[in-house]
Amino acid sequence: MKLKTMMIGATSALALTGAAHADGHMADSMTVVSWGGAYQTSQQKAYSEPYAEENGVEFTWDESSGEAVARLRAMSEADNITWDLVDVVAADAMRLCDEGIAMEIDHDELLAPGDDGSSASEDFGDLIVSNCFIPQIVYSTTFGYRTDVAEWGGAEPTSVCDVWDMEAFPGQRALEKRPIGNVEWALICDGVAYEDVYDLLETPEGVARALAKLDEIKDDTVWWSAGAETPQLLADGEIVIGSTYNGRLFSVIEEQQQPVGMLWDYQMFDLDGWIVPAGLPEDRLARTLDFLRYATDTQRLADQAKYIAYGPARASSAPLVSTHAELGIDMAPHMPTDPANSVNTFLFNYEWWADNRDDIDAQFQSWLLQ
């Protein structure tokens, strides 16, 4: 078993060098895994539909990204990988990479250089957080609030710490049912300096302090686990302020025209991108890499922003971001990466969270139970 996986690893590494540019033995169908919903649609419109038109490849989309880590591990244990390309968040990509389930990638060799002539690794920059990860978009977890709350007397929150201000902004909150994001914001609002946050969180006192801060609003908080919950709760008036993904808020505000405003302060940047499962057969791997090269070039990433308010991961794509395909509004100001929106930000500290997530999550869940 061990020997076998080693050998598969070796052959796929060999395949990497040759097969990517060979066109003789490419599979003519692909199974791509993503999140479903508007996000997947944007990928289909920007990547797979034009690619299929050019190459006649048949795409199968599987909406399993939410459980991709577990499914991939099970597939890998059973030695039966049915997926060709999987969309995951960066933290999951890192985990899959550590587990040896995702294939390590040489970004410069396999990905197209930027339109501006920069190499792929320069173009993506430090968004390449793992050797297995090909970044696609920058999204953020940030706050939306209702703009019509009578008790607020016309005031609107401007700082993430207003989430804690129950006097000026009374009402129910919604926060994600996991520590990431919440503990950082709690410490910031408890007066901790930005650069000290993670050092402090490594100590038990730091975690306790963050949780104590969260205690202030615990009784007034709905804890969500699916990204769709906060927009729905906001639209129903069930909560007045809540965190969710910025693209979801864009759709509530711009597409559904709900009385909701956006609070960008200390948005938590996160990355989403592709991984290639380790151990694909040669023809499928060749096809996957060919598609991957196409789907992550400068133009394609910029195109995706026509359909959803997430920022392209390549620096070279930013100038190409145009207007929304249906609404016609300029998308640049809705990108989390827009300078006006990113005065105060957190970039999800993957390395740190990979080490500390299990520990802090246990404390966080234990705290939730109390």
Partner 1 sequence: MTTSTEPVVAADGLPLKRSLARALRRQKIRALLLIAPLLLFIVLTFLVPIGNMLLRSVDNAIVEETIPRTVEALRGWDEAGDVPPGEDVFEALYADMLIATDAKRHTRLGSRLNYESSGMSSLFRKTNERRLGRFELEQPLAPQFEDIDEDWITLETWRVIKSNSDPVTAGYFLAAMDLRATPTGIEPVSDLQAIYVKLFVRTMILSVTITAMCFLLGYPIAWILANLPSRSANMLLILVLLPFWTSLLVRTSAWKVLLQQQGVINDLLVWVGVLADDNRLAMINNATGTVIAMTHILLPFMILPLYSVMKTISPTYLRAAKSLGATDWTAFWRVYFPQSVPGIGAGAILVFILAIGYYITPELVGGTDGTFISNRIYYHISSSLNWGLAAALATILLAMVLALYWVYDRLVGIDNVKLG
The contact set with partner 1 (CB under 8 A) reads 2, 5-6, 9, 66-67, 69-70, 73, 95, 97-100, 104, 172, 177, 202, 204, 207-208, 222-223, 225-226, 232-233, 236-238, 351, 354-359, 361-363, 365-369
Q: What's the sign of the alpha-carbon dihedral 279, 281, 286, 290?
A: negative
DSSP 8-state symbol, 277:
B
| Amino acid residing at 327 | L
- In whole angstroms, the minimum distance from the beta carbon of 250 to partner 1 comes to 22
Whole-number Cα distances in Å, 114 to 49, 54, 139, 315, 337: 22, 21, 21, 8, 18
Q: What's the sign of the alpha-carbon dihedral 30, 85, 311, 222?
A: positive
132: nearest Cα among 115, 110, 148: 110
Nearer to partner 1, 104 or 338 (CB): 104
- In whole angstroms, the minimum distance from the beta carbon of 163 to partner 1 comes to 18
Nearer to partner 1, 49 or 355 (CB): 355
Burial zone of 309 (CB within 10 Å; 0-12 exposed, 13-18 middle, 19+ buried): buried
Nearer to partner 1, 224 or 307 (CB): 224
State how far Cα 80 lies from the chain centre. 27
Longest dimension (CA), the chain: 68
Nearer to partner 1, 50 or 100 (CB): 100
Nearer to partner 1, 225 or 257 (CB): 225
Nearer to partner 1, 11 or 356 (CB): 356
- In whole angstroms, the minimum distance from the beta carbon of 322 to partner 1 comes to 34
Residue with tokens 């060999």: 14
Burial zone of 298 (CB within 10 Å; 0-12 exposed, 13-18 middle, 19+ buried): buried
- In whole angstroms, the minimum distance from the beta carbon of 316 to partner 1 comes to 28
- In whole angstroms, the minimum distance from the beta carbon of 92 to partner 1 comes to 8
- In whole angstroms, the minimum distance from the beta carbon of 297 to partner 1 comes to 28
